A and B are shown apart, each in its own frame.
Chain A
Amino acid sequence: MSNATVVVVTSGKGGVGKTTSAAAIATALAKQGYQVCAIDFDVGLRNLDLIMGAERRVVFDLVNVVRGEATIKQALVRDKRLDNLYLLPASQTRDKDALTDEGVASVINELRMYFDWIVCDSPAGIERGATLAMRYADEAIIVSNPEVSSVRDCDRIIGLLDAKTVVAEQGGRMPKHLLITRFDTERARLGDMLSVDDVVDILSVPLIGVVPESKDVLKASNVGMPVTMADEACPPSRAYTEAVQRLLGEDIPVTIPSEKRGFFGKLFKGRAA
């Protein structure tokens, strides 16, 4: 019996940081020693390969596997830096309808035998790619920006998680975690941005982390490294690492790691304010 956990990273809205988060979370899990596979479900517009720095080494993809044109082992791309981290890329050329429910089910079932964690990076929207990314998940990470349209779309996705997933259809309740990204403490303090409490209040989903808006995220994607691999000490990296600790069941208070650390901040390095 496999103990794998399938977690979907989803949001409804595009551009909120799903792929960045999926890569950062998969990497942080791998750093904890787990066997991790990240799957890109964005058929036709794949990008997880680029964010993970594997774009030059993609041979086969998810659609090839679903169609039986390649085995899973042939399609998996192993990370060059962490040998327990793998990527199953999306196809770049076919459209979303190339994925079938049965095909995805069998891919996930097979991956469950090899991995501890399977991180599904959902495409934006609520079409087939997004619904198949969440369909076989055991848990969901819902990514929201502190911004009205993003929160609204998350609410829609929460509805789908409670209706269209195997867990929900079997009468269970999908465990959900809210990850707020691109958060700006200063603007929230001034009242120009929804606060963390506002978003949690509206969505009623337990908070797993708050990732601050940061230049480090773009720098990491430029060079093809998940942010948790590029710079462990930068604020977004610390936020993702803490979120993963919570995902693993640790009971630690949510903090918002900040950019500027003064002399005393540096002295007390472990304690993010």
Chain B
Amino acid sequence: MNILSFFARKEPSAAVAKSRLKILLAHERSSDGNDAALISSLREDILAVVKKHIDIDIDAVRLEMDRSGDTTTLGIDIELPQRARSA
């Protein structure tokens, strides 16, 4: 909390609740929950491509998703083994 946020008018929590729900429900109504299946197959394909070049550990792959407004981003973090990085 800084001095500016003291003067800035804070958004009422109900407005935050409404916008969170809108984003979430828009997503849940449209996608019939097949995210996991989609991401799972995406991950496998991406891993197969990466594996052609580097030997990586499945557990060294992190997936992160963020849904906001009308966009969903999928972040894929692949930790490269030490040798591949120096090569």
Q: Which residues of A contact B (CB under 8 A)?
A: 50, 55-61, 64, 69-71, 73-74, 91-93, 218-224
Chain B residues contacting A57 (CB-CB under 8 Å) are 64-67
Q: B14 to A222, Cβ gap below 8 A?
A: yes
Task: Taking A55-B24, A70-B36, A223-B16 as given, write out 5 further A-B residue pairs in contact, using a Cβ cutoff of 8 Å, ordered by the A residue number.
Answer: A60-B39, A64-B36, A71-B58, A74-B61, A218-B13
Bin chain B's interface residue count. 20 to 34
Q: A55 to B20, Cβ gap below 8 A?
A: yes
Given the known interface contacts A50-B20, A74-B63, A92-B28, the answer about A60 and B14 at a Cβ–Cβ threshold of 8 Å is no
Dominant secondary structure of chain B at its interface with chain A: helix
Q: B20 to A59, Cβ gap below 8 A?
A: no
Q: Which residues of B contact A (CB under 8 A)?
A: 13-14, 16-17, 20, 23-24, 28, 32-33, 35-36, 39-40, 58-59, 61-68
Query: Shortest distance in angstroms between B38's beta carbon and chain A's nearest beta carbon?
Result: 10
Q: A58 to B65, Cβ gap below 8 A?
A: yes
Chain A residues contacting B58 (CB-CB under 8 Å) are 71
Task: Name B62's closest neighbour in chain A (CB-CB).
Answer: A74
Q: Please report the C-alpha to C-alpha distance between residue A92 and residue B35 in the assembled complex, in whole angstroms.
A: 11
Q: Please report the C-alpha to C-alpha distance between residue A264 and residue B24 in the assembled complex, in whole angstroms.
A: 44
Query: Shortest distance in angstroms between A144's beta carbon and chain B's nearest beta carbon?
Result: 26
- 9 interchain pairs, CB-CB under 8 A: A56-B67, A91-B33, A218-B13, A219-B13, A222-B13, A222-B17, A223-B16, A223-B17, A224-B16
Query: Shortest distance in angstroms between A201's beta carbon and chain B's nearest beta carbon?
Result: 37
Q: A56 to B63, Cβ gap below 8 A?
A: no
Q: A60 to B36, Cβ gap below 8 A?
A: yes
Task: Name A59's closest neighbour in chain B (CB-CB).
Answer: B65
Q: B20 to A224, Cβ gap below 8 A?
A: yes
Query: Shortest distance in angstroms between B22's beta carbon and chain A's nearest beta carbon?
Result: 12
Task: Name B64's closest neighbour in chain A (CB-CB).
Answer: A57
Given the known interface contacts A50-B24, A73-B59, A92-B33, the answer about A56 and B17 at a Cβ–Cβ threshold of 8 Å is no
Q: A222 to B16, Cβ gap below 8 A?
A: yes
Chain A residues contacting B16 (CB-CB under 8 Å) are 222-224
Q: B36 to A56, Cβ gap below 8 A?
A: no
Q: Please report the C-alpha to C-alpha distance between residue A267 and residue B63 in the assembled complex, in whole angstroms.
A: 49
Chain A residues contacting B35 (CB-CB under 8 Å) are 59
Q: Please report the C-alpha to C-alpha distance between residue A60 and residue B63 in the assembled complex, in whole angstroms.
A: 9
Query: Shortest distance in angstroms between B15's beta carbon and chain A's nearest beta carbon?
Result: 8
Chain B residues contacting A64 (CB-CB under 8 Å) are 36, 40
Query: Shortest distance in angstroms between A111's beta carbon and chain B's nearest beta carbon?
Result: 15
Partner of B17, one of A59, A93, A221: A221
Q: Please report the C-alpha to C-alpha distance between residue A31 and residue B67 in the assembled complex, in whole angstroms.
A: 27
Query: Shortest distance in angstroms between A233's beta carbon and chain B's nearest beta carbon?
Result: 13
Chain A residues contacting B24 (CB-CB under 8 Å) are 50, 55-56
Q: Please report the C-alpha to C-alpha distance between residue A59 and residue B16 in the assembled complex, in whole angstroms.
A: 22
Query: Shortest distance in angstroms between B84's beta carbon and chain A's nearest beta carbon?
Result: 21
Shortest 9 CB-CB contacts between residues of A and residues of B = A93-B33, A222-B17, A222-B13, A56-B67, A219-B13, A223-B16, A59-B65, A223-B13, A55-B24
Q: Please report the C-alpha to C-alpha distance between residue A74 and residue B43 in the assembled complex, in whole angstroms.
A: 11
Chain A residues contacting B32 (CB-CB under 8 Å) are 93
Task: Name B72's closest neighbour in chain A (CB-CB).
Answer: A56
Q: Please report the C-alpha to C-alpha distance between residue A73 and residue B28 in the assembled complex, in whole angstroms.
A: 24
Chain A residues contacting B64 (CB-CB under 8 Å) are 57, 59
Query: Shortest distance in angstroms between B72's beta carbon and chain A's nearest beta carbon?
Result: 9
